[in-house]
Chains A and B, each alone.
Chain A
Amino acid sequence: MEWLGHYNYWVVVVLMMVGFYIVIAQGNLVKKIVGLNIFQTSVFIFFISLAKLDGGTAPVYIEGVTEYSNPLPHVLILTAIVVGVALTAMGLALVVRVHELYGSIEEDEIHEQDGKH
């Protein structure tokens, strides 16, 4: 049962596919953004779990502790989360504009209004 030991990566893969599927399959613009968020979050979890050391503590100096988790991926992901928040805000702002202009946030209805596929 070696693959059970990598359960954190399985979680990442499942979340990633769920998010990706929502982005592709959903016609609702807000739900697409939710999917995008889940997709991005899976990558955040991936980075954080690869930094974790079994038995390691937080990278703070404590007497008698020699093993620390790697802090760098956490810092990177902090940046990536900020980027993700900005993207979500931007996406939702665009959805608000779309709703103002078309009166709908369903992709098929919007395309119908513009008179193409």
Chain B
Amino acid sequence: MDLLIQHLPALQVVLPMLAAPIVMLMARSPRMAWATTTLVTWLTLGVSILLAQQIFVHGTISYHMGGWAPPVGIEYFVDSANIFVLLIISLMGAISMPFARRSVEQEVANEKHGLFYAAFLLANCGLLGIAITGDAFNIFVFFEISALASYALIAMGRDRRAVMSSYQYLVMGTIGTTFLLIGIGFLYIMTGTLNLADLAQRLPEVNDTRTVRAAFAFIAVGISLKLALFPLHLWLPNAYTYAPSMVTVFLSATATKVAIYVLLRFIFSVFGFELSFTELNMEYVLMPLALLGILIPSIVAIFQTNIKRMLAYSSVAQIGYMILGVSFASALGLMASVVHLFNHAVTKAALFMALACVIYRVGGVSLDRMAGIGKQMPWTMAAFVVAGLSLIGVPLTVGFVTKWHLLLAALEGGLWPVALFLLGTSLLATIYIWKVVEAAYLKEPDADRAVVREAPPSLLVPTWALTLLCIYFGIQTSLPLDMAGRAAETLLGGYL
């Protein structure tokens, strides 16, 4: 047992990585591939929870890969900041797997199931690896692992446009990670190290050089491409729209969140608050982009008739909220951003799951097709409405918790126009969620459409589990807020 506890950080990543080829061999029996994957995702969640327990008792864990001490060896470390991200990823993986069986059975060809679940595990492994590793080059490699797996997952969508959007994601994603690689190269020239903690210690001496600033620019732009910061978000709407439903659920909840975590790690911990905000004034770049990134995609979302696409644009807007919190350059703003990583993951996953239920029964999610669906699929649409309220930021839901803290952070910084802007843009979210509610509850269904039944329980239960989480953490706010507070403190404190 001691040995197990000791190697938890490695297990976190290795478990899904080793399971992937085994699942791939199960191509003949989709059921078994699914069962194994589910088991592995639950085990990964177990490892995350054990890790969280460990760091709350003993503090930060530093794990030396293969026994080589950092900065020479590769270090995995777990502190209050990345345990939060690890928990989000493994929780979302664990909740979306029970959901996956029926949904994937319908949307992906039978002989591809083994490959599908193998790719899912690799994506999971890559995302966990990005969050847990303490080595800059490792971040690049894990980014590529998760990205390659996600390209494959997205391309398995039924619509032929899925393949094309996967290709576009590949081109933009590769440019993003290559930029990251250039930035890491610059940092390596100046410091001779790749370990994040070591970099943070050595960088202040060479902060004034053009090379470090170029590195900063390359890394910030590269990661911004991966996290779909407006206006670098062009790959996201298509990729989310045409991917199989289950992939949309998982990626929307995790992929961009991890990229945001990496950005936070670099600008707060590695480059440090001093360089990022005092000297380079990152807030002047981030704040306008965040504000535009909230406003424009929200307006675009209103005009979409495909609901999946509408929610994809809304995801871009929500990323704007997270970046806005960072751009306040205050502890409170950062905490609001970090807590929104979790809140948005839960909310958006619940919304996409509700849509997946509709797709399962109706076959599509255009506004016309959803007309009158509220009476035929009451549970599904009720979940959609509750999660939608959370997206808008109505009190008693998790969305409100974020908005409230963002408002406080804006007022604390004396930025009352931003506070007004936040209230105003919530109205935009109300409009696009209302459009769906109106179609589902107030319109009559087409006469020629067969009456649809409620989605099966195996789809409804995970959907409602997430929806209830939206409400539970909206009322019982202490746990996520406490964890986000610690994470923000860790990030601001840098590497001590």
Contact = CB atoms under 8 A, between A and B. Distances in A.
Nearest to B170: A91
Interface centre among A20, A43, A47, A94 (most CB of B within 10 A): A94
A42 B90 CA distance: 36
Contact of A36 (B163, B164, B171, B182): B171
A86 B151 CA distance: 12
Interface stretch (B173-181, B259-267, B372-380): B173-181
B155 A97 contact: yes
B234 to A, nearest CB: 12
B18 interface: no
A52 B387 CA distance: 56
Given A94-B151, A101-B160, A50 B188 contact: yes
Contacts of A43: 178, 181-182, 185
B141 A90 contact: no
A50 B166 CA distance: 34
A79 interface: yes
B174 A110 contact: no
Contact of A47 (B152, B155, B175, B185): B185
Interface in B129-182: 137, 140-141, 144, 148, 151-152, 155, 160-161, 163-164, 166-167, 170-171, 174-175, 178, 181-182
A114 B171 contact: no
Contacts of A40: 174, 178
B188 A94 contact: no
A114 B163 CA distance: 12
B9 to A, nearest CB: 21
A20 B163 CA distance: 22
A36 B144 CA distance: 14
A29 interface: yes
Please classify how large the interface on chain A is, using the bins under 10, 10 to 19, 20 to 34, 35 or more.
20 to 34
A8 B26 CA distance: 49
Given A50-B189, A87-B148, A114 B178 contact: no
B185 A79 contact: no
Contact of A83 (B144, B164, B194): B144
Nearest to B138: A79
A50 B164 CA distance: 37
A18 interface: no
Nearest to A20: B175
A46 B170 CA distance: 23
Interface in A21-63: 23, 29, 32, 36, 39-40, 43, 46-47, 50
| 3 interchain residue pairs of minimum CB distance | A101-B160, A94-B167, A83-B144
Interface of A: 20, 23, 29, 32, 36, 39-40, 43, 46-47, 50, 73, 76, 79-80, 83, 86-87, 90-91, 94-95, 97-98, 101-102, 110, 114
8 contacts: A36-B171, A50-B185, A79-B137, A90-B170, A94-B166, A98-B167, A101-B163, A110-B164
Given A46-B182, A47-B185, 17 more contacts: A29-B167, A36-B171, A39-B178, A40-B178, A43-B178, A43-B185, A46-B185, A50-B185, A86-B144, A90-B148, A91-B171, A94-B166, A97-B163, A98-B164, A101-B160, A102-B164, A114-B164
Interface of B: 137, 140-141, 144, 148, 151-152, 155, 160-161, 163-164, 166-167, 170-171, 174-175, 178, 181-182, 185, 188-189, 194
